[in-house]
Structure 1
């Protein structure tokens, strides 16, 4: 069984690394205390990406975030993909590894999306088996991220928080709480994000994500939020973060900005705001 520790990443703001920010980060990281990379971007051999990652890993704790394991897929995990992930993890010894509670494969096809799951006993057994396989192969605990949802399955037998809680019990995995995903899902599916947080197994959280979303409407004119990671974090998400931190205490906070990536000062300002959220805990605010 893998024990959850919070020593791998500092309880400071982190950002998702983008190559265009390399020189600025190396010159003056400002409030940034750690970096996240997407595993699939660094599974090749050599070249500038690997050289930059090696330099960053000497200076910053690294969190590796996977997007292609298809933890919830119906088929067995891709052995070649898992081997490449193992090689990356062995090479850079990251502070954390995480993946998504989602699926993205069908037969031999890979779908470029993170698709939702029905929360059933059958799904739970399959996901738990995949999580355990990953942890044993990597010889480390993984964190599993709550998804952003746009629909719910009528066949679900439990809530998402119950599903995640049981995964922690069965596998010893930790959780990555994406606060923006909570807000997006709650808006789209019509429940209170505060109620979701109250039911979430917060003791298992080893990392928190923040990101921006886009606003739209569905065919009936109801609000529809898209987890785009393409803009600044919205004020209601910051407010929800404050609620979480009052319950958990300080944790590593990541700002994600993956599309329409801004110049470094804009992203650094978002990281600084995350740092202020942590500072307020110490001030009792």
Structure 2
């Protein structure tokens, strides 16, 4: 019989999963809720074993798993951290996740690490760095990686292209996929004053492998509202509307409910997933009818 750590993860279905955080591990192991897939943060499992590993093994025996990294700093001017990359490679080897993702951002430079996913200038130089680092990551892991658009609260004056054009070029040149965070598209569209629909139509639909949904906080300032991607509340109605538009433009995709701070009862996450499933089912039926 194979070791639990050699059990291949099942494929992620085109359905709505939930971001699984350690406080909910016990509930999932005991109750085995009817969730299509779970996503976990890669860095939480950069360890040789222990209770968290045992919980992870138990969950992935029963559910498809997506691993989502937050610390590789793909957009940094520094080389990729060889130690971090090695730990991620070992984690992927041991767990064989169905999906693997990281972020289009930077968060470390000169051995200094920041507790945030910081935005890039959208320039040819930054694109070259991202293409090289994503290529290095995919070569090291021997697999395609999805990269996620991040929320931001400032723009670089010397950017030469819109965010969606940068993402499209990154996918085309590196061969990576895109993890489209619908909440981040909406947050940035309000913060920076662009048309969210232009973002959706400006990225290659075939490259999008997963969607994220989360909650944000709204702050009022002298220059107008500022939306902050907090992952600490239910999905906003405006983001639900944009999710419907996203499905209409891109077609049905595996979708994840993210909630990282002030975690509610697991039932609240299931309720959010049920609502997302209603949107997904409508567009799955629509796309099936068109195909027929």
| Structure-2-length-normalised TM-score | 0.92
Instruction: Determine if the alignment matches structure 1 residue 245 to structure 2 residue 247.
Output: yes
Residue 90 of structure 2 aligns with which residue? 87
Task: Write the mapping of 1:93-172 to structure 2, written as runs, cut at 5 A.
Answer: 93-172=96-175
Pick aligned residue for 2:257 from 247, 255, 258 = 255
Aligned residue for 1:10, secondary structure, equals: coil
The alpha-carbon deviation at position 283 of structure 1 amounts to 4.1
In structure 2, stretches of 5+ residues that fail to align are 1-9, 288-292
Residue 188 of structure 1 aligns with which residue? 191
Residue 54 of structure 1 aligns with which residue? 57
Instruction: Determine if the alignment matches structure 1 residue 74 to structure 2 residue 77.
Output: yes
Distance in 2 separating the partners of 1:173 and 1:276: 29
Higher deviation after alignment, 105-114 or 71-80: 105-114
Higher deviation after alignment, 61-70 or 240-249: 240-249
Residue pair 2:200, 2:249 contacting (<8 A) in 1 also: no
Residue pair 1:70, 1:104 contacting (<8 A) in 2 also: yes
| Structure-1-length-normalised TM-score | 0.94
Residue 3 of structure 1 aligns with which residue? none
Higher deviation after alignment, 99-108 or 195-204: 195-204
Residue 4 of structure 2 aligns with which residue? none
Distance in 2 separating the partners of 1:248 and 1:27: 36
The alpha-carbon deviation at position 147 of structure 1 amounts to 1.2
The alpha-carbon deviation at position 27 of structure 1 amounts to 4.3
Residue pair 1:31, 1:272 contacting (<8 A) in 2 also: no
Task: Write the mapping of 1:200-211 to structure 2, written as runs, cut at 5 A.
Answer: 200-211=203-214
Distance in 2 separating the partners of 1:284 and 1:87: 41
Distance in 1 separating the partners of 2:214 and 2:186: 11
Instruction: Determine if the alignment matches structure 1 residue 267 to structure 2 residue 269.
Output: yes
Instruction: Determine if the alignment matches structure 1 residue 234 to structure 2 residue 241.
Output: no
Distance in 1 separating the partners of 2:84 and 2:284: 42
Residue 16 of structure 2 aligns with which residue? 13
Rate the CA distance shift 1:249–1:30 in 2: closer, same or farther, 3 A: farther
Rate the CA distance shift 1:174–1:29 in 2: closer, same or farther, 3 A: same
Residues 31-67 of structure 1, C-alpha deviations (whole Å, 9 max, x = no match): 5211111111110121111001001111111111000
Distance in 2 separating the partners of 1:73 and 1:248: 30
The alpha-carbon deviation at position 249 of structure 1 amounts to 2.1
Distance in 2 separating the partners of 1:279 and 1:27: 28
Residue 225 of structure 2 aligns with which residue? 223
Distance in 2 separating the partners of 1:55 and 1:185: 37
The alpha-carbon deviation at position 161 of structure 1 amounts to 1.0
Residues 159-201 of structure 1, C-alpha deviations (whole Å, 9 max, x = no match): 1111111111111000000000000000000122122212122
Distance in 2 separating the partners of 1:156 and 1:263: 42
